[in-house]
Amino acid sequence: MAELLTFGVLWVVFSVLGELGVSAWGHDFYFYTASTQALDGVNASVFLFRFLTPIFVFVVLMLLYIPIRARRRSNESVLRGKGARFNATYVTIWVTLSLAVNLLFFVHPTTSAAEQLFQEMSPQATQNALVVDVVARQWEWYFSYPQYGIKNALNANGNNVLYLPVNRPVKFVLRSYDPNHPYALGEDVIHSFWIPAFGEKMDVIPGETRIMVATPTKIASTETNPEMRVQCAEVCGPGHPYMYATVHVVSNSAFQQWVSQQLKAGN
């Protein structure tokens, strides 16, 4: 009984310490977040950390504390351990709790956060969104803005660039083909459109059109934070590591100014 009590006290103490750690650092789980979707992910993660911490502490304590407590002293001649081969209470609690925790996790945050994301990506929610057509080829990202007539957004050096206004939902329409060689079907492979700071990615599948929605919440750019970059996340050939593009999230007026510059440049 004393053993059980010691274990219980240790478990509570370390769990509380763990929870304090979750409170202190849990919201930095993604290091840098710059979209509402990333925040959805962080909030779901923090919820999971809350529940996983006591479970983790429980199992680790069991793996550390019990073997040390139960360790056979070298002068002991008894070669048999005490203890039951079955304990209905322990097994019932274990099975019930693991089932309950998993069902809870499935309802919240899994389903709730997923439904939230699906809602944000639904056609109704993206009616007024900024549409960016994203074309991935080996190994380059093309961005065009059909609502503004920008066919291929380029910066002053002629590199592909993504400009987004802050706090406005963006609907990325993702396709994989080579616009310069549209007949070369064999060149189309799977890419993955990922902006680390936005907390989500979506694969770009040849022959299919995929949608990803993000609402940027911070004014930032690749120069100010390297997590604000477009990075291909799915291996797509030897050029895969070089398949990135710079991102600028700017204020609404700066965005309008950029649009007119692009149009003037004939992009």
Partner 1 sequence: MSVARIGGAPLPLRRKKMMPPVIRGLLWAGIGFLVINCLVAYVLDPGYGTPFITQPSVVFGWLAALAGWLLGIGGLENVLLPAFGISVPTVEVPGWRRYFGYSTNHKVIGIQYLVSSTAGFFIAGLAAMFMRIQLMGNHMWFFPYAGQYIETVGIHGTIMMFSVGTVALVGGLGNYVIPMMIGSNSSAFPRMSALSVWFVPAGIMTVILSPLLGQWTTGWRGYEPLAQNDPNGILFYYLGVFALTLSSLLVSINLTSTILFKRAKGLTWNRLPMYAWGILTVSLLNIIWLPEIELTFVLAILDRVVPLPFFTAVGSPMTYLELFWLFGHPEVYIIVVPAFAIWMEIIPVMARKPLFAREWGIIGLIFVMLLSGLVWAHHMFTNMRLTEMLPFSFFTEMISIPTGFAYMVVIGTIWRSRFRLTVPSLFVLMSMFNFLIGGMTGVFLADPVINLQLHDTFFVVAHFHFTVIGGMVFTWLAAMYYWLPKFSGRIYNSKMGILGAIWVFIGFDGAFGLMFIQGLRGMNRWVPVYPPYLQGLNIIISIFAFVLGLGFLFNLIHVVWAMKSGKKVQENPWQSKTLEWQTASPPEEESFAAAPVITGSFYDYEDTDGTYTIPTAPDPVSM
Nearest residue (CB) to partner 1, 82 versus 264: 82
The answer for residues whose C-beta is within 8 angstroms of residue 117's C-beta and 6 or more apart is 37, 40, 200
User: Any bridge partners for residue 175, and if so which?
Assistant: 135
CB of 191 to partner 1, least distance (A): 10
**Stretch binding partner 1 (CB under 8 A), from 15-23, 41-49, 152-160, 251-259:** 41-49
**Could you say whether residue 17 binds partner 1 (CB under 8 A)?**
no
Selected range binding partner 1 among 49-57, 124-132, 146-154, 259-267, rule: CB under 8 A = 49-57
Cα first-last separation, the chain: 77
Torsion from C-alpha of 221, 223, 227, 232, nearest 10 degrees? 90
Cis peptide before 139 (omega within 30 of 0): yes
Q: Which of residues 199-238 bind partner 1 (CB under 8 A)?
A: 199-203, 205-208, 210, 226-227, 229, 231-238
Q: Which of residues 149-178 bind partner 1 (CB under 8 A)?
A: 176-177
Span from 98-106, 124-132, 151-159, 163-171 in contact with partner 1 (CB under 8 A): 98-106
Backbone φ and ψ for 108, nearest 5 degrees, come out as: -140, 125
Based on CB atoms, which residue is closest to partner 1, 87 or 257? 87
Helix (H) or strand (E) holding 172: strand 170-176
Does 121 sit near partner 1 (CB under 8 A)?
A: yes
